[in-house]
Amino acid sequence: MNITRASFITLPVGDQDRALRFYTDVLGFETVADRDMSQGRWLQVAPAEAQTVFTLSGPGMGGFEPGSARGIMLVTTDVDAACARLAQAGIPVQGPDDLPWGRMASFADPDGNGLMLLTEKEGF
């Protein structure tokens, strides 16, 4: 196999506009694509300069259940500052905790998709 990268991760959401506001206004992602298609709205966001994007899949697209995504790791240079920003936005956060591979916290988007923040430990 010659797989070079992951193209996108599907995040099933109940309300694409609400999800877009969360990912852009709270997490600071950029809108990569926002198109009407025959199957529904194709909406993608990503951190600046990221290779992998997140598709905010609305109800009925692909048969995904809103809030069913889990274990999505977002790397940050300052997990504590990221957690403070989430708390200011009223988003409950678990952690951050020191772990062998770095400092990590978890939270959910407005639909319940499970996300994690990680500041990687140097040299790990």
Closest to 26 (Cα-Cα) out of 89, 75, 94: 89
Q: Can you give the residue range of the structural domain that contains 96? A: 8-60+67-120
The pLDDT of residue 95 is 97
Q: Say how many domains are in the chain.
A: 1
Q: How far is CA 33 from the centre of its chain?
A: 15
Encode pLDDT of 51-103 as tens digits.
999 999 988 777 889 999 999 999 999 999 999 999 999 999 999 999 999 99
CATH of the domain at 51: 3.10.180.10
Task: Share the mean pLDDT of the chain.
Answer: 94
Beta-strand runs (E) in the chain: 8-12, 30-37, 40-46, 53-57, 72-75, 93-99, 102-108, 114-120
Domain-located, residue 84: yes
